[in-house]
Chains A and B, each alone.
Chain A
Amino acid sequence: MSKDQKQWVAGHVAALPKSGIRDFFELVAKLKGQDVISLGVGEPDFVTPWHIRESAIFALERGKTYYTSNLGLIELRRAINAYVEEHFNVSYRPDDQVLVTVGVSEALDLAFRAFCNPGDKVLYHQPCYVSYHPSIALVHAQGIAVPTYAKDNFALTAEALSAAWQPGAKILMLNLPCNPTGGTCSREQLEKIAAFCREKDLLVLSDEIYSELTFDGTHTSIASLPGMAERTIFLHGFSKAFAMTGWRIGYACGPASLIDAMMKVHQYSMMCASIIAQEAAIEALQRGWDNVLKMREQYHRRRDLIVRRFNEIGLTCHQPRGSFYAFPNITSSGLSEKEFSINLIDKEKVAVVPGTAFGANGAGHVRACFATAYDQLIEACDRIERFVHAKR
Chain B
Amino acid sequence: MNPVLKLLIEGSNLTVGQMAEVAGMTESDVNQHLEQLKKEKIFLGWRPVLDLSREAAAAVAVRAVIEVKITPERGGGFNRLADRISRFDEVESCYLMSGAYDLLVFVKGPSLQRVAAFVSEKLSTVDGVISTSTHFMLRSYKEQGFLLNGGEVQNTRLNVAP
Residues of A within 8 A of B (CB): 19, 21, 24-25, 28-29, 36, 38, 40-43, 45, 47, 129-131, 179, 301-302, 304-305, 308-309, 351, 353, 374-375, 378, 381
> Which of B18, B24, B162 meets A308, CB within 8 Å?
B24
Chain B residues near A305 (CB, 8 Å)? 21-22, 24
* Most chain A beta carbons < 10 A, residue from B152, B155, B157: B157
**29 A-B contact pairs sorted by A residue (CB < 8 Å):** A19-B162, A21-B161, A21-B162, A24-B160, A25-B159, A25-B160, A28-B159, A28-B160, A29-B159, A40-B161, A41-B157, A41-B158, A42-B161, A42-B162, A45-B155, A45-B157, A131-B162, A179-B162, A301-B22, A301-B23, A302-B22, A305-B21, A305-B24, A308-B24, A309-B21, A353-B160, A374-B14, A374-B18, A378-B22
Nearest-CB distance from A327 to chain B (Å)? 14
Report the nearest A residue to B23, measured CB to CB: A301
Chain B residues near A309 (CB, 8 Å)? 21
B interface size (C-beta, 8 A): 15
* Most chain A beta carbons < 10 A, residue from B14, B24, B161: B161
Give CA–CA (A130, B162) in the complex, Å. Answer: 7
Query: Does more than half of chain B's interface fall in helix, strand or loop, or is it mixed?
Result: loop
Chain B residues near A25 (CB, 8 Å)? 158-161
* Contact of B21 with A374 in the complex, beta carbons under 8 Å: yes
> Which of A19, A179, A351 meets B159, CB within 8 Å?
A351
Give CA–CA (A28, B159) in the complex, Å. Answer: 7
Residues of B within 8 A of A (CB): 12, 14, 18, 21-24, 152, 155, 157-162
Nearest-CB distance from B77 to chain A (Å)? 35
Chain B residues near A19 (CB, 8 Å)? 162
Chain B residues near A308 (CB, 8 Å)? 24
> Which of B14, B23, B152, B159 meets A41, CB within 8 Å?
B159
* Contact of B161 with A41 in the complex, beta carbons under 8 Å: yes
* Contact of A129 with B162 in the complex, beta carbons under 8 Å: yes
> Which of B18, B21, B152, B160 meets A47, CB within 8 Å?
B152
Chain B residues near A375 (CB, 8 Å)? 14, 18
Given contacts A374-B12, A375-B14, contact A41 B160 (CB under 8 A): yes
Chain A residues near B157 (CB, 8 Å)? 38, 41, 43, 45
Give CA–CA (A375, B7) in the complex, Å. Answer: 13
Nearest-CB distance from B150 to chain A (Å)? 13
* Most chain A beta carbons < 10 A, residue from B158, B160, B161: B160
Give CA–CA (A301, B21) in the complex, Å. Answer: 10
Nearest-CB distance from A371 to chain B (Å)? 9
Chain B residues near A378 (CB, 8 Å)? 18, 21-22
Nearest-CB distance from A35 to chain B (Å)? 12
Nearest-CB distance from A297 to chain B (Å)? 9
Give CA–CA (A40, B162) in the complex, Å. Answer: 8
